A and B are shown apart, each in its own frame.
Chain A
Amino acid sequence: MFKTKIPKSIPLDKLYDKCQNDLNLKTITNVDLSKVQLKSQYIERPGLSLSGYLEGFNPKKMYVFGEIEINYLQDLHPNIRFQRLQLLITQATPVIIIANDLNPLKEIKELCKRHKVALWHSSKSAVEVFSVVTKILSDAFAPVVSCHGTLVEAFGVGVLIQGDSSIGKSEAALGLIERGHRLVSDDVVTIKRKEENVLVGEGPELTRHLLEIRGIGIINVAHLFGAVCISRTKKIDLIVKLEEWDDNHFYDRVGLEDKYCDVLGVKIIYHILPVKPGRDVSLLLETIVLNHRLKEMGYNSAKEFNAKLLKTIAQRQENRKKTIETVKRIKT
């Protein structure tokens, strides 16, 4: 894994471009959005701040004015209205969104112009603005790490194949594609933490769907095998590290306990898969995935077998006891 990047700010034009269509946005003030940096991923409604209560008010957040806010402001005396809005709209404010197709009050327009604050107008409801913007911002502010590996989707499970160069990651991916699974990215995988414990991987635009196979060269699997064998992003469920077979290393022979590795603070199940001629890596990867799915469904082959074994042993011990007691009884 390479260095983790946590975006501290994003340019406002990026947000505008992403939500313009969904929210039917229009700009009211003439501000160069590429020069405004959004430093908070949270969006809020002004709420009580409009009444002059500013405890916990963060001027760096973006604010959405809905029907309630505008109605409340309209009920206020013009002087008080301007005074309250002055406290809210400052140079630090990145953007104000007026929802519900409402007319922005002239005081809001004036203050936004004065402080060069972006003022947007949306025909959608404040709740819709909230949900669309929150989704975009949580994605834009998510921690990201890039790593060397190959991300595939097999039986619906996202598997990140790691290992040294020339260990056979791309060949394993090719084998999986041939068996009807999907490639997300080869060699460079960008991992984003979405929500608390979900990791989503994707490939860079430039090298997306390319595989480099030694002896053949660079191939585009989307063109060779069709669109069915590619996927743009995938949640990472498993990490499998391919390693040269080492006779001195003791590999997991039973699979009773899962090993985990930490990626961006999320625990992901981790397997080490030794590679040597004759071992069909694609088949082994498929087996790991199927076994993982079985475990997710509550069936652990190794544990189930162990439980059965313990039961058999206990039964035998019981039988042995009974036999000894019977022999003793006969003797006496």
Chain B
Amino acid sequence: MKLLKELKLKNCSGLHIRPATEIVKMLQNVQSQVFFTYKDQTVNAKSIISLLFLSAEKDAMIEVSVEGEDAEKVMSLLVEAFELGFGET
């Protein structure tokens, strides 16, 4: 199953090391392949350096693509994490 969604980056400092680590930690044991696309650049969301390369700022709309058996579960986890700003304000 493949799911696509645009999620808004809500935390004030954008996608820096800490939120990127949170995302990678969350995706560590998931089956699905997860890709983030921002400003025409698509990267593997399971890699910290790839996520940092996006250098996405606050309010950036990230296109999230999740493909695999657990896609629905992974997408809902990501939606929640984006919504909570990865624990940052």
Known interface pairs A5-B40, A165-B44, A188-B43; A148-B55 also in contact (CB < 8 Å): no
A146 interface contact, C-beta 8 A: yes
Q: Is the CB of B49 within 8 A of A188?
A: yes
Partner of A146, one of B17, B41, B46, B49: B41
Bound CA span A148–B44, Å: 7
- Give the distance to chain B from A248, nearest Cβ to Cβ, in Å: 19
Q: Is the CB of A187 within 8 A of B40?
A: no
- Residues of B near A146 (CB, < 8 A) are 41-43
The answer for the CA separation of A234 and B49 in the assembled complex, in Å, is: 20
User: Which residues 13-61 of B have a CB within 8 angstroms of A?
Assistant: 17, 28, 35, 40-44, 46-50, 52-53, 55
Q: Which of A5, A188, A210, A212 has the most CB of B within 10 A?
A: A188
Contact pick for A207, options B42, B46, B49, CB 8 Å: B49
- A53 close to chain B: CB less than 8 A: no
Cβ of A207 and Cβ of B53 under 8 Å apart? yes
A187 near B42: Cβ-Cβ < 8 Å: no
Instruction: Count residues of chain A with CB under 8 A from any CB of chain B.
Output: 17
CB < 8 Å neighbour of A148 from B17, B28, B47: B47
Cβ-Cβ contact count across A and B, 8 Å cutoff: 44
Q: Measured between C-beta atoms, what is the minimum distance from A172 to chain B in Å? A: 15
**What separation, in Å, do the CA atoms of A306 and B52 have in the docked complex?**
49
**A114 CB to nearest chain B CB (Å):** 36
> Which of A166, A188, A211, A218 is close to B50, meaning CB atoms less than 8 Å apart?
A188
Which residue from chain B places its CB closest to the CB of A2 in the assembled complex? B42
**A212 and B44 contacting across the interface, CB-CB below 8 Å:** no
B39 to chain A, nearest CB (A): 12
Scoring B residues 45 to 83 as 1 if CB is less than 8 Å from chain A, else 0, what string do you get? 011111011010000000000000000000000000000
Size range of the chain B interface in the assembly = 10 to 19
Q: Are B52 and A3 in contact (CB under 8 A)?
A: no
Kindly state the separation between the CA atoms of A187 and B40 in the bound complex, as whole angstroms. 17
Q: Which of A210, A211, A212 has the most CB of B within 10 A?
A: A212
Residues of A within 8 A of B49 (CB): 186-188, 207, 210-212, 218
Q: Are A187 and B47 in contact (CB under 8 A)?
A: yes
56-70 of chain A: CB within 8 A of chain B: none
Q: In the bound complex, do residue A165 and residue B46 qualify as a contact, i.e. CB atoms below 8 Å apart?
A: yes
**Residue contact A206 to B53, C-beta cutoff 8 Å:** yes
Distance from B49 Cβ to chain A, minimum over Cβ atoms (Å): 4
Q: In the complex, are the beta carbons of B41 and A206 less than 8 A apart? A: no
Interface-central residue, A2, A5, A187, by most chain B CB under 10 Å: A187
B47 to chain A, nearest CB (A): 5
CB distance from B77 to the nearest CB of A (A): 17
B20 to chain A, nearest CB (A): 10
Chain B residues with Cβ under 8 A from A2's Cβ?
35, 42
- CA gap between A2 and B44 in the complex, in Å: 10
Q: Does A204 contact B (CB under 8 A)?
A: yes
CB pair A218 B43 closer than 8 Å = no
Q: How far is A212 from B47 in the complex, measured between Cα atoms in Å?
A: 9
Bound: A222/B63 CA distance, A = 33
Within the complex, the shortest CB–CB distance from B64 to chain A, in Å, comes to 14
| A contact residues around B47 at 8 Å (CB) | 148, 165, 187-188, 212
CA distance A2 to B46 in the complex (A): 15
Contact A148 B50 (CB under 8 A): yes
Selected A-B contacts with CB under 8 Å, 27 pairs? A2-B35, A3-B42, A5-B40, A146-B43, A148-B43, A148-B44, A148-B47, A165-B46, A165-B47, A166-B46, A186-B49, A187-B43, A187-B44, A187-B47, A187-B49, A187-B50, A188-B43, A188-B47, A188-B49, A188-B50, A188-B53, A204-B53, A206-B55, A207-B50, A212-B47, A212-B48, A218-B48
Chain A residues with a Cβ under 8 A of chain B: 2-3, 5, 146, 148, 165-166, 186-188, 204, 206-207, 210-212, 218
